[in-house]
Amino acid sequence: MRKTTLQSLTLSFRYHHPCHHSRPQPCYRINMTKFPPTIALYQTNEDLWTHCTTVVAVRQLSQLPECDRSLFKQVGEAEHDKHWVVTTTETIFYAQGGGQPYDTGVMHTTLAEGEGVSGARFLISAVRHGSHGQILHLGRFESQGDGTVAFTPGSLVRQALDGERRGLNSRIHTGGHLVGLAVHSLQIPGVTELKAQHYPELSFVDFRGTIASAHREAIETRVNEFVQRALPVTVHWWTRQEVRDKCKAVPEGIPVAPGNGDEEMVRVVDIEGAGAYPCGGTHVPDASHVGRVAVKKISRSKGNSKISYKLVV
C-alpha cells in the first residue's frame, strides 16, 4: 500500500451527495460546515467490526436539513422526533453506496477505550452519506424513558456492527466482482461493465453490449472456478493513471474523473489472478468465502445486458 494520509484517502473517495449536483437546497442555508467530514474507517480497514470513537453531533431526524432528512424515507414524518441521527469523528459502519446496502449495529457509551460498557445504547437502523462528507447513523436510543438524549457531543462511544449482515453483504458484493471478471475473461466482444447492485434480494451486474443467454453456463462455471481457486482479494490505493492502466472495468459513477489533483489516490480491489476494479465497498478475504454462485439470468434491453446472480448458500 502506498504511503498517503488519511485525509487524502477521505478526499479521494468522497461520496458525491446529490445536493452537490443540483440547485441550492435548504441545507445550504444552514451552517453545516461546522461539522467535519467523517473518516470512513471501512475504507482503510474492512476488518474493523468494533471501534471506539467520539460523538460529533446528536440530532433528532426532524432537525436535519431537508436534503439529509430525505435520505431516510423509511421513517414516516410522524416518527421523526423519535429517531435520532448521530455523527462521529470516525465510523466502521458502511454507508450505503456503490450498490452495497448499509451496515446496522449498535453504539454505546463507554468510560474510556477498553473499559466496560456503561450507559446508553443507540441501535442503528440505517447509515447514509450526508451532505458535507458526514456519515449519518440513524437509530433510536434504548431505554430512553425520560426522553433525554443519551449521547452528547464529545461522548466516547464504542461501535459494534452486525457482523452477520456485513459478512453477507461482503460475500454478495465480492460475488458481483467475480461475475464481472468472468465475463471479462470470456472475452465476449463489445461488452464493457457499467454498474452493479449487490443486494441480498436482488443482485446483478449491468454491461454495455449484448451478452447472449447461451453464455450463462460458461459465466457461472468461470465464477465458480474463481471461488474454488480461492483467489486472494486485496485492497490497494492507486493513482488515477494506475486505475486507467490496470483495472479491468471502471464502472460509471466511480470517482476517477480528472480535476482533483494528481496526488489523489483511488481505492481499488484486486481479485488476484482475475482482475482489479475501483471500488469503495467491503469484501471477503478470498473468493472461497463467497461460496457457490448461481447465474440466474441474462436479460438484454436497449443494447445493454444485465446478469442476475445469487449466492447458493
The residue to which cell 476494479 is assigned: 277
Nearer to Zn ion, 32 or 196 (CB): 196
If the CB atoms of residues 107 and 269 are measured against Zn ion, the closer one turns out to be 269
Q: Which residue is nearest to Zn ion (CB)?
A: 279
**Closest distance between Zn ion and the C-beta of residue 127, in Å?**
17
Candidates 61-69, 152-160, 272-280, 293-301; binding stretch for Zn ion (CB under 5 A)? 272-280
- Distance of alpha carbon 163 from the chain centroid: 15
281 binds Zn ion (CB under 5 A): yes
Asked whether position 271 contacts Zn ion by CB under 5 A, the answer is: no
Of 107 and 279, which CB lies nearer to Zn ion in the complex structure? 279
How many residues touch Zn ion (CB under 5 A)?
3
User: Measured from the CB of residue 136, what is the shortest distance to Zn ion in angstroms?
Assistant: 22
How far, in whole angstroms, is CA 154 from its chain's centroid?
26
The owner of cell 481505492 is 267
Candidate segments 82-90, 193-201, 228-236, 279-287, binder of Zn ion by CB under 5 A: 279-287
The residue whose grid cell reads 459465466 is 219
Buried b (16+ CB within 10 A) or exposed e, 35-45: bebbbbbbbbe
CB of 162 to Zn ion, least distance (A): 19
- Alpha carbon 17 to its chain centroid, in Å, reads 14
**Considering only CA atoms, which of 170, 134, 194, 174 is closest in space to residue 14?**
134
Minimum distance between the CB of residue 263 and Zn ion, rounded to whole angstroms? 23
DSSP state of 255: S
Nearest to 124 by CA among 135, 147, 140, 109: 140
Angstrom distance (rounded) from CA 280 to CA 291:
22
**Of the residues 40, 219, 279, 295, which one makes contact with Zn ion according to CB under 5 A:** 279
The answer to whether residue 269 forms part of the interface with Zn ion (CB under 5 A) is yes
Q: Which residues bind Zn ion (CB under 5 A)?
A: 269, 279, 281
